[in-house]
Chains A and B, each alone.
Chain A
Amino acid sequence: MLPLVARRLASAIPVLIGVSLIVFLMMRLLPGDVAQLILSDWGASRDQVEQLREQLGLNDPLWLQYYNFATRALQGDLGRSVHTNRPVLAEVLSQFPSTIELTLAAIGFAVLLGVPLGTIAALRHNSALDNSSMLISLVGVSMPSFWLGLLLIFTFSLTLGWFPATGRGGMERLVLPAVTLGFIAAATIARLVRSSMLEVLRQEYVLVAHAKGLSGWAVIWRHAMRNALIPVITIVGLQFGNLLAGAVIVETVFTRPGLGRLTITAILGKDFTLVQGAILFTATVYIVVNLLVDLSYSFIDPRIRQS
């Protein structure tokens, strides 16, 4: 197990370096002068622009800029926000718990809806139930999350008054954002569970279990489900990353504090150090989660452990 962990860790490091390089280069590929863009709304003089360029290290060669950026990032220093002058890492960490809370709630909802929906669709293959489940799933993956969020706000908040539409705090403010974010993931999970379950139900060991006289539910729970859920666990882990990115939109719709809303505000406010830090942080969390999913997959599926 340890060599496997070491190998996965070793393969994640170059990806992390590459991601930091991409984020760094993106912000340097901006058309026009970065310092001038930041100060464009303030009517700054040429001296002030030059001062900001020096402050941000923009006069150094590109390789030196990246070296300084990377070494500081490894020490937890992602620079300072251009507008608030607060450390970027502090800004990001202050918003992170809200995003994690939303993402975890969304995953919970996605699994609670997606797994039963996909299982029922597989067990009632080619029936009206199967077709309806897959139609819901198709609508789910085709629907823009921001539109779903607005529909839920209109129905459950403005019309019925069951849940608040905005902000953070308490379970009631988490329901609508989590359902919005999780619904699309539920649709993807349902499709995957259905195809995985159909594949497993065709296997000979399932036939043998039936032949042995086991009840339908016993066959499903003890034999089919466990094997059908192996690829689903991978997808749930990968969906975590998509949900983390999708939180950008949902936090904006529900005016909810979080990493996503911080990123958008930073982009629109041309706070490039904050944009750089927020995107790098989000991508790093995604890579770490993928690594953990990869390792857990090896743990759950003994065939991978033995290989």
Chain B
Amino acid sequence: MESLVHPAVGAEEGKGPSEGVLSGTFRRLRRNRAAMGGLILLVLLVTMAIAAPALAPYDPIKVAPSESIKSPRAPHWLGTDQFGRDILSRILFGARVSLRTGLISVGIAASIGVVVGLFAGFYGGWVDIAISRAVDMMLAFPGILLALCISAALGPGINQVMIAVGIAGIPTFVRMVRASVLSARENLYVDAARALGASNLRIIGLHILPNVVAPVIVLATLSLGWSMLNAAALSFLGLGAQPPMAEWGAMLSTGREYLRAGWWITTFPGIAIMLAVCSINLLGDGLRDAMDPRLRR
């Protein structure tokens, strides 16, 4: 029998509508060691980024020609680049840029994607058809190509990259939210709410949206890694962060010419990108497993 009770309602009395599902999710997530490892690494990264001004031993953009291309040893523990800038300091400040770029890009993709997907899935008809065809066209661009196309139109710069990567991420959110809404709107509690006189906006906000939150969180987490990689790639190609900004992808690009003389200039920023994306992927995979409805029962 179809339930008239909202699926987010917890089994225990006295708890809020989503607390039962959320507490179960966190419990399952805590048992996943890989996901917890990813979470710890991500928290470390975010802490490093926030505390960069306090942790960094040197100014990340100040040039020191006498210290040019020094190998990793005291006082430059990760070495210096061709301009004598401390690599460790640039990686710490680069964490701020990369995380901010990833978060804003995902924010753009999720906020627009969720709203558009909600409308497409709930209203259906020509609205759904038009939106679905537009999404198909955007998804017809492979990988980084759409972000590259938008970047070409907007010009180089880190803000332009955030917008480009964000827009390129919208179709995935639209598709996922639309699919969740199509499933959720068939539930009896939606019909009951409508029969009680609830407006469409109220139904979408109170009854449809809670069903969408969990998959959006998973997708947003996994998209963060994808966004950071693509933003770093665009910076590597010269379309993102411009000199002298400390950004991991841009550091790899400028360090390319000094590969033989200074392998550390490209190695450590690359490790930073890999660890950041790895931690996000581990956490995202863990969240996806923890929120799997088949495991909830």
Contact A29 B153 (CB under 8 A): yes
Contact A249 B237, CB 8 Å, known A15-B140, A29-B153: yes
Whether, in the assembled complex, B143 has its beta carbon less than 8 Å from a beta carbon of chain A, the answer is yes
Whether, in the assembled complex, B214 has its beta carbon less than 8 Å from a beta carbon of chain A, the answer is no
Q: When A and B form their complex, which 9 residue pairs have the shortest distance between CB atoms, in order from nearest?
A: A18-B137, A241-B142, A147-B270, A245-B143, A142-B278, A142-B277, A245-B142, A242-B143, A267-B152
Whether, in the assembled complex, A102 has its beta carbon less than 8 Å from a beta carbon of chain B, the answer is no
Could you mark each residue 111-154 of chain B with 1 if its beta carbon is under 8 Å from any beta carbon of chain A, else 0?
Answer: 00000000000000000000001101110111111001111111
Contact A151 B270 (CB under 8 A): yes
New A-B pairs, 18, CB < 8 Å, besides A19-B141, A147-B273: A27-B153, A142-B229, A142-B277, A144-B252, A144-B274, A144-B277, A147-B252, A150-B266, A242-B143, A253-B256, A267-B148, A267-B152, A268-B238, A272-B152, A279-B145, A282-B142, A286-B141, A290-B140
CA–CA, A31 to B256, complex, Å?
31
Cβ–Cβ < 8 Å partners of B259 in chain A: 150, 153-154, 158
Closest to B259 in A: A154
Q: List 9 A-B contacts (CB under 8 A).
A: A19-B140, A26-B152, A26-B153, A31-B155, A142-B225, A144-B270, A144-B277, A245-B148, A248-B148
CA–CA, A252 to B142, complex, Å?
18
Contact B140 A144 (CB under 8 A): no
Closest to B134 in A: A18
Closest to A23 in B: B149
Q: How far is the CB of A146 from chain B (nearest CB, A)?
A: 5
Closest to B256 in A: A150
Whether, in the assembled complex, A22 has its beta carbon less than 8 Å from a beta carbon of chain B, the answer is yes
Residue from A21, A22, A150, A272 in contact with B252 in the complex, judged by beta carbons closer than 8 Å: A150
Could you mark each residue 135-176 of chain A with 1 if its beta carbon is under 8 Å from any beta carbon of chain B, else 0?
Answer: 000110111111100110110001000000000000000000
Contact A19 B137 (CB under 8 A): yes
Q: How far is the CB of B137 from chain A (nearest CB, A)?
A: 3
Whether, in the assembled complex, A133 has its beta carbon less than 8 Å from a beta carbon of chain B, the answer is no
Residue from A18, A249, A279 in contact with B149 in the complex, judged by beta carbons closer than 8 Å: A279
Cβ–Cβ < 8 Å partners of A245 in chain B: 141-145, 148
- In chain B, residues 246-276, which have Cβ atoms closer than 8 Å to a Cβ of chain A? 249, 252-253, 255-256, 259-260, 263, 266-267, 269-270, 273-274
From B133, B238, B253, B270, name the one whose CB has the most chain A CB atoms within 10 angstroms: B270
Whether, in the assembled complex, B281 has its beta carbon less than 8 Å from a beta carbon of chain A, the answer is yes
Whether, in the assembled complex, A304 has its beta carbon less than 8 Å from a beta carbon of chain B, the answer is no
Cβ–Cβ < 8 Å partners of B277 in chain A: 142-144
CA–CA, A14 to B142, complex, Å?
17
Contact A18 B145 (CB under 8 A): no
Whether, in the assembled complex, A263 has its beta carbon less than 8 Å from a beta carbon of chain B, the answer is yes
CA–CA, A151 to B259, complex, Å?
9
From B140, B225, B249, name the one whose CB has the most chain A CB atoms within 10 angstroms: B140
Residue from B136, B148, B155, B282 in contact with A279 in the complex, judged by beta carbons closer than 8 Å: B148
CA–CA, A22 to B135, complex, Å?
11
Contact A283 B142 (CB under 8 A): yes
Cβ–Cβ < 8 Å partners of B93 in chain A: none
From A19, A30, A141, A142, name the one whose CB has the most chain B CB atoms within 10 angstroms: A142
Q: How far is the CB of A50 from chain B (nearest CB, A)?
A: 22
Contact B140 A283 (CB under 8 A): yes
Q: How far is the CB of A245 from chain B (nearest CB, A)?
A: 3
CA–CA, A271 to B207, complex, Å?
50
Cβ–Cβ < 8 Å partners of A26 in chain B: 149-150, 152-153
Contact A286 B278 (CB under 8 A): no
Whether, in the assembled complex, A39 has its beta carbon less than 8 Å from a beta carbon of chain B, the answer is no
